[in-house]
Amino acid sequence: MSDFLSNFDSNEIEKISDNVVEEKQRRASQNKKYENEEIELDPQYHKKKKRQKLILILLTIVLLAVSGLTYYQVSHVTMPNFKGKSLSDAQKWATQHKIKVSTEDEFNEKIEVNSIIKQSKKEKKKIKKGSSVTFSVSKGANPDDKITLPNFKEMKQSDVEKWIKKEQLESMVVVDEYSEIAPKGSFLREELSEGVDRENFSRKDSGKLIFSKGKEVYQKDISVPDFKGKTQLEIENWAKKNEIELEIKKVSSESIPLGQVVEQSIKEKEKIAKKTKLTVNISAGKGVKVPNFANLAKENAMTQGKLQVTVEERFNLDIPYGELLSQSVEAETELTEEDDLSIKVTYSAGKPYLKDLTGQNEGELQKYFYDEFRSKGANIYYVVNYVNSDAPKGEIVSMDTSNTFLPLEYTVTVNVSLGY
């Protein structure tokens, strides 16, 4: 202690001692003051204390209730009504609120595909996060359902489109096409998929319903060239490229060589539209006119220049012998080098006449009846009756008719000798 006090000088020690004495005097004076004062007790003290405890308890209960309610609100969510809404909307909501989703698919004509038909949790019900909800999801209308097809001819195009939408026919389409005959909007035809007819049509089957767009109107923006000097192939290629309805006519010409253009129905440089009809006449060389063979005898008919005439005779009960019955090419027709120059001319052979064949040989009958009758259109035949006779064997001794005109169908009986 002496070592410690040795660190202070005498003045500092004296100062500390004075401070200690003063503090003791102050405390003594304060205690004496308290002894002289009168102590008063509050009679409501215990009630106040009890009220404070009650308030504290109530506050604690309220706090706990609020905390519990807050937790419930945080851990639960109100179930919306997803009926008729898309499954993606429900899944988005479920992900946001940590709800597990399971689905069941079923056919439904009234609810669109991938839209919700019903849900396992009722609307407005509180459900806990982490729980599961099952949604019944529409697959649309049943594709195997049989569909009765109406009479489309009696329907407007707009009504047909509404009917397709109503019946949910995803594979049935309406197609428009141009028509030169049918008015715009009128029904043209139906085209159902292979193996399908109106009686067994189902929702999954495909088909086309074609309606008219009316006549197609084209711009007149195609300039017609001069076809002189062009070949037929060049003209046809130009017409095909520009969708022109081309008609090539072969005509005779005394001056224009074979294969060259004689004239065209539309002048060069004139503007035309697609589908316009264009006729181009091309030289078929020099022509020859077919004569009227009624004015020519049979003997002269075959000598008609370039024409290759075949003459035949046919029996006719009404047209006299030698008059014209027909010619295969009409008179005054002009044929060219590219045409078939062969002509068949038929003259009347008049009525069939049977002469007396007595004394001739049986072997001559076949040729005679064919050459004289059947080759000229008469169905005249013969039958042989063999008889005893002094005449040589095979000789015709008599006939049931002879030296007379016959009808176009007849059978003659010929009696032939047996030679004894």
Are 293 and 279 members of one domain?
no
Mean pLDDT along residues 288-302: 90
| Measured CA distances, 266 to 225, 244, 350 (Å) | 9, 12, 53
Are 269 and 232 members of one domain?
yes
Beta-strand pair 207-212/187-192: antiparallel
Are 305 and 331 members of one domain?
yes
Mean pLDDT along residues 57-72: 69
Domain at 240, CATH number: 3.30.10.20
CA neighbor of 105 nearest in space, from 138, 82, 128: 138
- pLDDT number for residue 304: 83
- pLDDT number for residue 228: 92
Mean pLDDT along residues 198-217: 94
Helix (H, G, I), strand (E, B) or coil at 190: strand
Mean pLDDT along residues 360-371: 96
Number of domains, the chain: 5
Cα separation, 261 vs 229, whole angstroms = 7
Q: Which of 84, 114, 138 is the last residue of a domain?
A: 138
CA 264 to chain centre: 39
**pTM exceeding the 0.75 threshold for the entire prediction:** no
Are 80 and 98 members of one domain?
yes
Q: Which of 283, 314, 330 is the last residue of a domain?
A: 283
CA neighbor of 348 nearest in space, from 379, 374, 312: 312
Structural tokens at position 239: 């017409």
For 28-57, the pLDDT digits (tens) are: 565 555 555 555 556 676 777 778 788 787
The reply to whether 334 falls in a domain is yes
- pLDDT number for residue 137: 94
Structural tokens at position 7: 């660190």
Q: Which of 212, 243, 258 is the last residue of a domain?
A: 212
**Residue 230 lies in domain:** 222-283
Cα separation, 97 vs 3, whole angstroms = 79
Are 279 and 228 members of one domain?
yes
Mean pLDDT along residues 108-135: 90
- pLDDT number for residue 1: 43
Are 273 and 259 members of one domain?
yes
Question: What confidence category does residue 279 fall into, taking pLDDT thresholds of 50, 70 and 90?
Answer: very high
- Give the DSSP letter string of 25-69: HHHHHHHHHHHHSPP---TTHHHHHHHHHHHHHHHHHHHHHHHHH
On the question of pLDDT at 6 being above 70, the answer is no
Question: How many other CB atoms sit within 10 Å of the CB of residue 253?
Answer: 19
- pLDDT number for residue 31: 55
